[in-house]
Amino acid sequence: MIKIVTIVGARPQFIKAAAISRAIRNEFSDSIKEIIVHTGQHYDPNMSKVFFEELNIPQEDYNLGVGSDSHAKQTARIMEGIEDILLKEKPDCLLLYGDTNSTLAGGVAASKLHIPIVHVEAGVRSYNKHYPEEVNRIVCDHLSTLLFTPTVSGVNNLAKEGFNLENKAPYHVDNPKVFFCGDIMYDNSLHFAEVAKTQSNILNKLGVEGKNYVLVTVHRPHNTDDLLALNSLFKCFNDLSQKDKIHFIIPLHPRTQKAMEKGLDAGLYHSIKHNPYIQIIPPASFLDIIQLEKNAQLIMTDSGGVQKEAYYFHVPGIIFMDETPWVELVESGNARVVGSDENKIKDAYSYFMKNRIALKYPSLYGDGKAAQFICRQLVDTFAVK
């Protein structure tokens, strides 16, 4: 039996970890022992604990409780905690997801201890290093032994960076292996969409069951900390909802709530608070967000995970970023990158509302069985001594 240490710290990682933990529990319990480390990067119960409970992720074995801070301080504290755990547990490999500070810290700590790194969601690139996530994912990829990429474009990105796609076993950091496995988020969306049908009543609770509505999520610092961007986005939400008398459902990240209260123009803030078509709600659980995504007319977001979830459920997306690492969404014609530009947002909104029924959604993210594939490769690679 192999021992793996899994690092999670943020919402998308909790969701991805659920798929791997489910595959281990259902199919690999006799060959993989998983130790889960929660870094505490997301420490609000609505952003963390609820996901563990709802997604049936095993209780974490360790919680570092690092909380929020600057990138350097947060990363340093996570590295220090992970190093102690790795020295104690002596795993066969460290499993990392995505592109957070938890991912970066885990990768650096494990590499110094010569513990093989497995990166799920490797090869994703926006080609803009101003985003801290881009730096995190590049560093992690180049420290990894096994790289599992969700898309063909991810494989191509790694090839451009010098990874040899023909490498043969035994694999190690200087002879890494790249796999196209499909998107583990797709596994979960398929699985939990069925669960949400019976366990989520969010549509009824909000009074939007059977109604047209737009789902909005905003949390990235370039949108919440820039007052011009913040005001531009919320002006669009206010204008469009009133013009078309369509509900805008906005599960509000704690960062955005604080920014909105402090940074919005007083008149705009007052208008939004009294706009009957804007419903601002606390952060939604995963099952609730799945229900909201599946039934939305349109999704507006700056979340990488929500961008893809919109596609899974055949809902067009408007992306509040200057570029997206999920370029295939834009290339397929089902999403537009608009930043915080008011004209671009309104143009994209108008286009998708008129054309959404005619859009096509080709299969881009695998067959929904990425977790099983990854577990099989872990056993095949690390069970051999």
- In terms of residues, how long is the chain? 385
Q: What is the identity of the amino acid at 39? A: T
Q: What are phi and psi of 199, to 5 degrees?
A: -105, -5
What is each CA distance from 380 to 5, 86, 222, 374, 375, in whole angstroms?
Answer: 17, 22, 42, 10, 9
Q: What are phi and psi of 151, to 5 degrees?
A: -140, 160
Nearest Cα to Cα of residue 24 among 381, 369, 380, 371 = 371
Q: Which residue has the tokens 């609505």?
A: 46
Using DSSP's 3-state secondary structure scheme, residue 286 falls into helix
Helix axis angle for 342-355 and 227-244, nearest 10°, is 30
Distance in angstroms (rounded) separating the CA atoms of residues 325 and 342: 22
Q: Which residue has the tokens 């609820």?
A: 50
Q: What is the identity of the amino acid at 120? A: V
| Neighbouring residues of 331: CB distance < 8 A, sequence distance ≥ 6 | none
219 catalytic? Reply is yes
Catalytic position from the list 219, 222, 247, 274: 219
Give strand pairing partners of 228: none
Residues marked active site are found at 219
